Amino acid sequence: MGVARSQEEAQSEPAYGRWEDRARDVIMAAMAQRNLSYKGLSLRLERIGIEESAAQINRKINRKRFSAAFLLACLVAMDVESVPI
């Protein structure tokens, strides 16, 4: 049974992989458009009550392993009103 779960998880990884890449690209594009560094994003997140260091944000984004809540918080902090899908 454990082996079957591992195979299922392995098969589902690539399917989410492209969406993780897309989520990272959305954040990075918004940062680039605003000429924001990770520190700049950190400061903007602080304004909405989220304390994350620049290093923590960098790791989350570059690992492409973050929650939808983090994605939305970043977009709100950067005043992004729409996202091309």
pLDDT tens, per residue, the chain with 85 residues: 455 555 555 555 678 899 999 999 999 999 999 999 999 999 999 999 999 999 999 999 999 989 999 999 999 999 999 998 8
Torsion, Cα of 83, 73, 22, 36 (10° steps): 80
**Residue 49 DSSP class:** T
Structural domain span for residue 38: 2-77
- Counting the structural domains of the chain, the total is 1
Tokens of 71: 């994605």
Cα–Cα nearest to 63, from 29, 27, 31: 27
pLDDT for the residue 15: 82
The answer to whether 21 and 64 have CB atoms below 8 angstroms apart is yes
pTM of the model: 0.80
Q: Is residue 6 in a domain?
A: yes
Q: Is residue 85 in a domain?
A: no
Q: Is residue 30 in a domain?
A: yes
pLDDT for the residue 85: 80
Q: Containing H/E element for 27?
A: helix 2-33
Distance CA 26, CA 32 (A): 10
